[in-house]
Amino acid sequence: MSIKINHLTHIYNADTIFEKTALNDVNIEIQKGEFIGLIGHTGSGKSTLIQHLNGTISPTSGEILLDGENIHKDKTKLKEVRQRVGLAFQYPEHQLFEMTVYKDVAFGPTNMKLTEQEIDKRVKEALQTVGLSETVYDKSPFELSGGQKRRVAIAGVLAMNPEILILDEPTAGLDPKGRDEILYAIKQLHKQRGITIILVSHSMEDVAKLADRLIVMEKGHIAMTGTPKEVFARVRELEKIGLAAPQISYVITELKEKGYNLPEDIYTVEEAVKALYTLLKGEE
Amino acid sequence: MIRDITIGQYYPVNSPIHNMDARVKLIITFLFILTLFFINTFLGYVFVILCMSAVIKTSKVPLKFMLKGIKGILIIILFTAFINVFMTRGEHILFEWGIFTVTIEGILIAIKMCIRIVLLVVGSSILTLTTTPIQLTDGIEYILRPFKKIGVPAHEIAMMMTIALRFIPTLLDETDKIMKAQQARGADFDSGNLFQRAKSLIPILVPLFISSFRRADELAMAMEARCYHGDENRTRMNVMVLKSSDYKAVVILAIYCIALIILRFLAARFSFIW
């Protein structure tokens, strides 16, 4: 399923003193199966943009096309849109409310009025995807650790079997282990099920490692878009809008200045390790 | 939709009303509300509405914001009107139906009551829209201070109100966020019968309560960490000082009250019911 956004503008509190233009003439096209990294400084409009994609907020002007169809054309179909476009908000664990993990994940599928068997299948599948074992099914979600809670919440969205999954900073406030577990689960989803993923992140390292394409936002419009290599090559521009390239690329630049012969476009630790290894081996 | 609620909302512009001392504004609003119950003629209400329009104009807050508060209590207004129209006994009966009697007196009282409630709400909106919550609670604390001797915990009341007002927008945002998150999981809040709708609120209320407790806990901890221990020996950053404009406001209020007394006296003298 592809998404196309045409001239999307969103103004909060229009015509009052609190008026704020959050999005200004945004145009994006996202193909089926892409892994998009959405980056931008705080207040650049990322959260507003993703909330448009599943129709939780309506545009002031412009349109959002899902497979060529405007999602606001038929209001009765919004529920279906929300099922197809799964959205996990920032700190999704704040939405947990049920007595047990199992019931909480089942909330979405139950709302879709699926059969009991189908619900059961989806809940188990979703919990397995995020790496939670059967031992937690009957626990209260509030007894779990922060990282586990978040995975339960993400499973709650996954259980609706969305074709597009949008995650708003899924790793914010987690310890390194919790972060790795979540990112791994997301990667698996993209690889195995071919789900289109939009990952909002403040971590350049994460998007460099995972995304096929980056969209950079600044003050409500799209500042850049391209592969991670293309975007991070424009590091000076990124710094101007309060972002940066992954830390490893600064290390590589320093090393190059010191006279080491390394390639330009290294943006992940893995690539750096490989390049340094070849270089050092060659010197021997 | 949830953002439409304007209780305690402050409208940040610079106007003579905004710059007034919060204590003076509080006392004036209180007296203004009292005067509303003193008026018994339409002429009196016209006078009050004129005075109020002048104040709203001076405050530079758009009328739209002032009237927003009425939307929320529309049901109360309609209910009051209904009760007054049908339950007032009087001489000029328009029609009777079972226990319901509609009289001219009833209709007149209903209209007056509605005007009174609307003026009451708009009057207090002027106060909250032109005064920041902090100023407001500081003012309340100051006014309540004399009553401390008889055991009124003035500082604690003010602190509780400050915190409550401070958290209204936070909790509204939180509610908005949780609603959107549950909608993203297919929750439906707008259809079904009353029972189903009440039930559909559980996925919002549970997370909301949990986050309120969490916030309360965090705030209490943060206050303790900064050595908050109530009123004792506490000094203030902004000491309230009365300015000449505040005295002017008091004089204007006095004139307003005298005008109302004269109006009432004239009405009684000429047995004028309008």
What is residue B190's predicted lDDT score, i.e. its pLDDT?
76
Tell me if A239 is assigned to some domain: no
A260 and A224 share one domain: no
The pLDDT tens digits of the residues spanning B13-70 come to: 899 999 999 999 999 999 999 999 888 888 889 999 999 999 999 999 888 888 877 8
Chain centroid to Cα B57, Å, comes to 19
Q: Would you state the torsion angle of the CA atoms of residues B265, B269, B270, B273, taken in this order, to the nearest 10 degrees?
A: 50
SS3 A98: coil
Across the interface, whether the CB atoms of A107 and B185 are under 8 A apart is answered: yes
Q: What is the mean pLDDT of residues B91-99?
A: 74
A131 and A268 share one domain: no
A150 and A281 share one domain: no
Across the interface, whether the CB atoms of B186 and A111 are under 8 A apart is answered: yes
A145 and A68 share one domain: yes
A214 and A278 share one domain: no
User: Would you place residue A138 in the very low, low, confident or very high pLDDT band (cuts 50, 70, 90)?
Assistant: very high
Cα(B83)–Cα(A29) distance, rounded to whole angstroms?
59
A116 and A198 share one domain: yes
Would the pLDDT of B116 be above 50?
yes
The pLDDT tens digits of the residues spanning A176-223 come to: 888 888 899 899 889 988 899 999 999 999 999 999 999 999 999 999
Tell me if A267 is assigned to some domain: yes
- Percentage of chain A exceeding pLDDT 90: 54
Which residue reads 């209904």 in tokens? B82
Sorted by sequence, the CB contacts under 8 Å of residue B67 that are 6+ apart come out as B122
Question: A151 CA to chain B: closest CA distance, Å?
Answer: 15
* Number of domains composing chain A: 2
Tell me if A19 is assigned to some domain: yes
Tell me if A241 is assigned to some domain: no
Q: What is the mean pLDDT of residues A223-248?
A: 91
A256 and A167 share one domain: no
What is residue B274's predicted lDDT score, i.e. its pLDDT?
60
Q: What is the mean pLDDT of residues B128-153?
A: 87
**Nearest Cα residue to B185 out of A156, A168, A137, A163:** A156
User: Would you place residue B269 in the very low, low, confident or very high pLDDT band (cuts 50, 70, 90)?
Assistant: confident
Rg (CA), chain A: 21
Most confident range, picked from A101-105, B83-87, B123-127: A101-105
Tell me if A236 is assigned to some domain: no
| Chain A partners within 8 Å of B62 (Cβ) | 16
Mutation target vs A (from B64, B66, B185, B202; most A CBs, 10 A cutoff): B185
Burial degree of B196 (CB within 10 A; 0-12, 13-18, 19+): exposed
Partner A contacted by B183 (CB < 8 A) = yes
Report field, pTM of the whole predicted structure over 0.90: no
User: Would you place residue A224 in the very low, low, confident or very high pLDDT band (cuts 50, 70, 90)?
Assistant: very high
Q: Which B residues 78-97 touch A at CB under 8 Å?
A: none
Q: Which two tokens stand for residue A94?
A: 């704040």
The ipTM, to two decimals, is: 0.85
Sorted by sequence, the CB contacts under 8 Å of residue A42 that are 6+ apart come out as none
The pLDDT tens digits of the residues spanning A33-67 come to: 999 999 999 889 999 999 999 888 889 999 999 98
A81 neighbors B186 (Cβ within 8 angstroms): no
Tell me if A190 is assigned to some domain: yes
User: Would you place residue B273 in the very low, low, confident or very high pLDDT band (cuts 50, 70, 90)?
Assistant: low
A256: domain range? 246-284
The pLDDT tens digits of the residues spanning B200-239 come to: 889 999 999 999 999 999 999 999 999 898 877 788 887 8
Would the pLDDT of B1 be above 50?
no
CATH number of A128's domain: 3.40.50.300
Tell me if A192 is assigned to some domain: yes
SS3 A55: coil
A106 or B70, higher pLDDT:
A106
Would the pLDDT of B143 be above 60?
yes
Calculate the average pLDDT of chain B.
86
